[in-house]
Amino acid sequence: MDSLGGTCFSSLFKKSTKKTENPSVLRSVWLFIYSCFLKPHAGDAKRNQQDALESFYKGQAGAYDATRKTLLKGREDMLALVAAQILFKAKRDGQSPDNKRRIWIDVGGGTGWNIEAMSQYIDVPQFFDSVYLVDFSPSLCEVARKRFARLGWRNVKVICQDARKFRLEDHEPVSQGGHSPGSPDFGYFTPQNRPEHDGADLITMSYSLSMIPDYFSVIDSLPSLLAHNGILGVVDFYVQSQVDVSFRNYTGGVVNRHVNFFGRTFWRAWFDIDRVALEPGRRDYLEYRFGTVLNVNSRNYVLAAIPYYIWLGAHKRPLSSSLPHEIVEKVNALVTESPYLHPKNRSNALSRAVERAAPEIRSKAFDAAVANLSSNLPLPSFFYQNHHYRIYYDDQLKKHTQFNDEYIYAFTWEDTRVDERILKLKSDDVVLAITSAGDNILSYALQGSARIHAVDLNPTQNHLLELKVAAYSSLPYEDFWKIFGEGKHPEFRSLLISKMSPHLSSRAFQYWLNNHHVFTKHKGGLYDTGGSKHAIRIFRWISRVFGCRSAVKELLAAKTLNEQREVWRNKIRPALLSRLVSKFVVSQESFLWTALGVPKNQLAIIEAEHAVSDAVRGANPRAKNTRSHAIWEYMVNTLDPVVQSTHIAADNPYYLVCLDGKFSRQCHPDYLSREAHARLSRPGALDGLRIHTDEIDEVIARVAPGTLTVAVVMDSMDWFDPGSGAAAAQITKLNRALRLGGRVMLRSAGLRPWYIKEFERHGFAARCHGARENGACIDRVNMYASCWVMTKRENLAPPTPEPEAMGGPEITSLEI
């Protein structure tokens, strides 16, 4: 077929041999098709890689850029991501062109398209002192030289050379006393005394790694070229089964990484025609030699869903500290509230540090880091982030995957104003709280707490909190407001990549990149997503069926409480609180769990309270003591007082967002105010935040005893089975983690829930701070029947140490 193709198109390509950088579109397409699928590989006489590349590229060099825009997806995203990283690092480190020589190396840069495209995000001629385009194809390099001559970028140098042999010292001055970045550095723990300005700030590889036969040696050469704080960015094709990497904790997540058997077989065979190798080993070795900062797995759906990935990495050894154990110890101390013991004058003291601190509780992050270090593996990707908010967790565990990558709450249902009034947090408070949507966590941060441990078993709830924190750190107020006030922003994807990405963990970034449509395409925006959307949609359906959609608008337009009450009583209440809706919709256990997050044990509390209430009133139990009536009565006791006591449009953001799908400039949670943004966007404002993806029991078991001052557990105690003993076990752990005088704040669906006595039996004094009796409205949400604060009055006898929560694995083998 090759010879036939050569004959058929010979006349066409006689006209195409003119050296032109910009052939016509038609000619470019035919050059691409001929070179990739029809032209014989006649350039292998010298049997070397350069000859093979020339055979493939020489005839199509001028048409390369015009034909790769559709095929090579993700290049712009990769450039935007690495640009965001290096700009963030430059700003954080206070760098300026006067005190820092910036270098970029584009390995396999071809025609220089990447370097010109980078100008969308960075002023390349001004920001970089030197840009090196390294490629082995003379034809592509010639196109690149013409490109930069046309642009007038004199800082770009095109080097036609085997990437394995490229050395910076051949082109850059080496500072006196500095380490010459010559030969590859294979030693994981070998000290590197390279000055800050030696090495490249950025190295990129755009669809070149898959075309390098001897990829091991090229990857091995990169650490010696990369500055200590530099970033490596790669975008390329790949095929891989998730099974191959599911047990690795350092890949930054495996979202969309799996390619099915047919896809793996077909794409490997297809690309092999053009000597493009898609075997998994290339990416695997890249992830082994470097630490993963961000990771994206995607598909080019324009061209039959070709799999490609974007990967950002840093030095395998976290060079922000002189030895790897220092950052491990520091992160461990931040997680467990243990003192950080800075090692001085020690060169191999990881094992000594563990021995000295043997009685201390170790975090799961510490255990994972030690296991990786002892196996010469990169640390989990959380250690390579710019911030250490998010704590390591294994995203493949069933307890995390059970949520199917969906959060339940898009906004928090606890009234932060009441929390602030009751808790009165101070600057020395150490708070542990359930994350939910993160609104309450940010409210505690506004009150100036010393440390906040946000805990949630659902990874996506923590992804939502991470997004809010990243938005504070990177976006002006108006963009922040559009995303979280209105729940929509047409430029969300662009902002996520170019602004927020340096402030997100790899897993959170992948999640929001995959779900950017929530803010850009979803009709209802953020607040019409998550499990709670079902309740909001049911309300809309009811209002539509009963013809009261206009009444909802009237309610939100009401100027006074009296106007609001009239609309509610005459137009909305008869539909929403009808016995029919309660019986066939709201009281269904599946709806209560999916839409409202009410588990069966909490439902049992509601039914039990209803039975007691009926007994007190002397009601006929056969007539009214049913689940449907219990739920109806609970709804009445929730909603009637809210409408009677609070002005929804002016001062009740919790119900406003349910009714209108967004907050207003007048009515919104505290964290959305302009003042809150100004405060929490300051550098270091959220350094005290730790985000744990785990059970509360697991987190408090790994916190140093007597360090917490406040624990906010929301309504989670309602979830316990009264006969299991699990509630008593958690209360015991809370007692151990809290200081004397420390407090546990909780809400319940019951007026006096059964576990209050358990708290009193385990060293706490109980006080009710609000009970929903006689039509009372205890806060602007009023969703719970009571609010309690338990104050620790005595220490319990210390329990027997649990081996899995103490210390870490043996690491004496790490002595050097």
Cα distances (Å, whole numbers) of residue 417 to 460, 649, 673:
25, 17, 14
Please say whether the beta carbons of 255 and 101 come within 8 A.
no
Say what the pLDDT of residue 325 is: 64
202 contact partners, CB below 8 Å, separation of at least 6: 82, 86, 103, 104, 105, 230, 231, 232, 233
Q: Which residues on adjacent β-strands are paired with residue 788? A: 746, 768
pLDDT in tens, 571-622: 988 877 776 666 666 666 555 555 556 778 888 888 888 776 655 555 555 5
Q: Is beta strand 103-107 parallel, antiparallel or unpaired with respect to 200-206?
A: parallel
CA 49 to chain CA mean position, Å = 40
Dihedral Cα 423, 439, 77, 529, nearest 10 deg: 150
Both tokens of residue 110? 């071809």
Q: Which residues on adjacent β-strands are paired with residue 743? A: 710, 791
Cα distances (Å, whole numbers) of residue 616 to 607, 621, 623, 674:
14, 11, 15, 49
d(CA 537, CA 102): 53
Domain ranges of the chain: 2-68, 75-315, 324-377, 400-494+674-792, 533-660
d(CA 98, CA 748): 60
CA 631 to chain CA mean position, Å = 37
Say what the pLDDT of residue 190 is: 45
Q: Which residues on adjacent β-strands are paired with residue 744? A: 711, 790
Please work out, in degrees rounded to the nearest 5, the angle formed at the alpha carbon of residue 532 by the alpha carbons of 416 and 771.
Answer: 45
Please say whether the beta carbons of 337 and 704 come within 8 A.
yes
The count of other CB atoms within 10 Å of the CB of residue 701 is: 20
Put the strands of the sheet holding 451-455 in their side by side order.
689-692, 451-455, 430-434, 708-714, 738-748, 786-792, 764-771
Please say whether the beta carbons of 451 and 682 come within 8 A.
no
d(CA 126, CA 358): 52
Put the strands of the sheet holding 103-107 in their side by side order.
156-160, 130-135, 103-107, 200-206, 226-237, 306-315, 290-300
**So what CATH class is 400-494+674-792?**
alpha beta
Both tokens of residue 260? 């099915």
d(CA 290, CA 284): 10
- Sign of the dihedral through C-alpha 698, 699, 704, 710: negative
DSSP state of 154: T
Q: Is beta strand 130-135 parallel, antiparallel or unpaired with respect to 156-160?
A: parallel
Q: Which secondary structure element, helix H or strand E, spans residue 311, and what is its range?
A: strand 306-315
d(CA 802, CA 31): 68
d(CA 161, CA 139): 12
d(CA 495, CA 80): 10
Say what the pLDDT of residue 318 is: 58
- Sign of the dihedral through C-alpha 727, 728, 732, 733: negative
d(CA 372, CA 394): 14
Homologous superfamily of 75-315: Vaccinia Virus protein VP39 (3.40.50.150)
pLDDT in tens, 745-802: 999 999 999 999 999 999 999 999 999 988 899 999 999 999 999 999 999 987 555 5
Say what the pLDDT of residue 798 is: 72
Query: At 471, phi and psi to the nearest 5?
Result: -65, -40
d(CA 803, CA 386): 32
Residue 725 zone, left/alpha/beta (φ > 0; ψ -120 to 50; rest): left
Q: Which secondary structure element, helix H or strand E, spans residue 659, and what is its range?
A: helix 653-660
- Sign of the dihedral through C-alpha 410, 414, 418, 423: negative
Both tokens of residue 315? 């030095």
> Using DSSP, how many helices (H) and how many strands (E) does the chain show?
39, 14
Q: Is beta strand 764-771 parallel, antiparallel or unpaired with respect to 786-792?
A: antiparallel
Say what the pLDDT of residue 581 is: 67
How many residues make up the chain in this entry? 816
The count of other CB atoms within 10 Å of the CB of residue 27 is: 17
Cα distances (Å, whole numbers) of residue 518 to 29, 136, 300, 463, 808:
37, 43, 21, 14, 41
The count of other CB atoms within 10 Å of the CB of residue 710 is: 23
d(CA 318, CA 329): 12
Specify the residue for token string 């049913």: 626
Q: Extract the residue ranges of the chain whose pLDDT is less than 70.
A: 1-68, 95-100, 174-197, 318-325, 340-360, 579-597, 612-625, 799-816
Query: At 173, phi and psi to the nearest 5?
Result: -70, 140
Specify the residue for token string 């104050």: 791
The count of other CB atoms within 10 Å of the CB of residue 692 is: 27
Specify the residue for token string 């624990």: 711
d(CA 493, CA 53): 36
Q: Which residues on adjacent β-strands are paired with residue 710? A: 431, 743
Measure CA of the first residue to CA of the last residue in the chain; give whole Å: 60
Q: Helix H segments across 260-358?
A: 261-272, 281-289, 324-336, 350-356
